[in-house]
């Protein structure tokens, strides 16, 4: 900002909810501002004032964005906007009042109403899965023995082949184990979104939309399947959160 220039106030938009929704009181948003709703027909935008947009974008702002949305999602349906959604004035939100857009938002809100998001990540315990692959594949076992103790140059091609076999075997096992996990929890969730995994040790990365009343059953079932696989797979469950992966066009 130029010295002496007055701060420019903008609206920071967290997400979309229904016009009838009552969000938790005294929520603190980005820049320490209070959070409120602005009714726009049948829906409402969740907003706060941002006095200095040029100073926006710090890690604390991202945390505040997520904190506001996660708190709201525990009480009322909300479709999160992408972090950093700013509009200069209320009139800039007029396009949201288009009947077609209103219907899209209402359908999205109906999908997530009474539900929250959990994100599940499952990953192999490296030592356990490697031992499992070696024990189950004679070619992997032979190549491991053949490359042990020799220089990298002398066994270059054998090491490449060994790595390819190990990764291939881990990917096959991951498909089976991911299927086993999903078979257990799929009946307990309203919807899910698979995320791409990019590491050989990754088994599963999935966003899950869970109804409030099904939360206890869902968490119990996941604990049971995790207990049966604890020696070879680690589980990380993040949530409850706002339905970030189920927000559709609002993002």
List pLDDT tens digits, range 97-123. 777 888 889 999 999 999 999 999 999
The answer to whether 87 and 93 are in contact (CB under 8 A) is yes
List the domain range (segments joined by +) for residue 242.
Answer: 116-250
In a domain, 234, yes or no: yes
Comparing 6-10, 87-91, 120-124, 131-135, the range with the smallest average pLDDT is 6-10
Does one domain contain both 16 and 76? yes
Q: Which is higher by pLDDT, 90 or 23? A: 23
Q: What is the pLDDT of residue 250?
A: 46
- Write out the two tokens for 230: 């604890």
Say yes or no to pLDDT of 74 above 80.
Answer: yes
Burial state string for 85-124 with b = 16 or more CB within 10 A and e = fewer than 16: bebeeeeebeebeeeebbebbbebbebbbebbbbbbbbbb
b vs e for 128-145, b when ≥16 Cβ sit within 10 Å of the residue's Cβ?
ebbebbbeebeebeebbe
Q: What is the mean pLDDT of the chain?
A: 85
- For residue 92, name the pLDDT band (cuts at 50, 70, 90): low
Last residue of a domain, one of 62, 80, 113: 113
pLDDT, residue 3, reads 38
User: The domain that contains 129 carries what CATH number?
Assistant: 3.30.70
Q: What is the mean pLDDT of residues 164-178?
A: 85
Residue whose C-alpha is closest to residue 112's, from 161, 140, 74, 83: 74
Reported pTM? 0.81
Question: What is the reported pLDDT for 152?
Answer: 64
How many other β-carbons are positioned within 10 Å of the β-carbon of residue 150?
12
Our count of domains for the chain comes to 2
Q: Is 7 helix (H, G, I), strand (E, B) or coil?
A: coil
Based on the fold, state whether residues 14 and 104 are members of the same structural domain. yes
Amino acid 60: pLDDT: 87
In a domain, 1, yes or no: no
Q: How far apart are CA 246 and CA 74, in angstroms?
A: 15
182 and 68, same domain (yes or no): no
C-alpha–C-alpha distance, residues 209 and 243, integer Å: 7
Is 3 a member of any domain?
A: no
- At residue 7, the pLDDT reads 44
Can you give the pLDDT at residue 90?
64
Domain end point (choices 96, 113, 130): 113
- pLDDT above 70 covers a percentage of the chain that reads 86
Alpha helices in the chain (DSSP H): 59-73, 99-112, 126-136, 138-147, 156-185, 215-228
Between 158 and 4, residue with greater pLDDT: 158
pLDDT over 90 at 178, yes or no? yes
**Contact status, residue 163 vs residue 148, Cβ threshold 8 Å:** no
State the average pLDDT over residues 165-177: 85
126-163 tens-digit pLDDT: 888 887 877 777 776 677 766 676 656 666 777 787 77
Half-sphere exposure of 233 (CA within 13 A, CB side): 27
Q: Are 92 and 124 contained in the same domain?
A: no
More confident residue, 68 or 86: 68
């Amino acid at each position: 900002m130029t010295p002496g220039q007055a701060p420019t106030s903008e609206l920071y938009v967290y997400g979309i909810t229904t016009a009838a929704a009552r969000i938790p009181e005294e929520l603190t948003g980005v820049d320490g501002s209070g959070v409120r709703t602005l009714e726009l027909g049948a829906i409402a935008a969740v907003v706060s004032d941002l006095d200095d947009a040029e100073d926006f974008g710090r890690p604390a702002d991202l945390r505040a964005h997520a904190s506001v949305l996660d708190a709201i999602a525990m009480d009322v349906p909300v479709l999160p906007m992408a972090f950093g959604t700013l509009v200069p004035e209320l009139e800039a939100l007029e396009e949201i009042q288009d009947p077609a857009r209103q219907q899209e938002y209402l359908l999205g809100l109906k999908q997530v109403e009474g539900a929250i998001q959990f994100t599940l990540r499952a990953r192999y315990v490296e030592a356990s899965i490697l031992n499992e692959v070696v024990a189950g594949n004679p070619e992997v076992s032979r190549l491991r023995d053949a490359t042990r103790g020799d220089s990298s140059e002398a066994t270059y091609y054998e090491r490449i082949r060994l790595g390819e076999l190990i990764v291939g075997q881990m990917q096959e096992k991951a498909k089976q184990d991911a299927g086993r996990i999903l078979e257990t929890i799929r009946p307990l969730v309203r919807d899910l979104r698979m995320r791409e995994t990019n590491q050989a040790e990754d088994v599963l990365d999935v966003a899950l939309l869970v109804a409030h009343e099904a939360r206890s059953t869902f968490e119990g079932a996941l604990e049971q399947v995790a207990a049966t696989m604890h020696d070879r797979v680690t589980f990380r469950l993040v949530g409850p959160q706002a339905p970030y992966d189920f927000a559709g066009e609002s993002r």
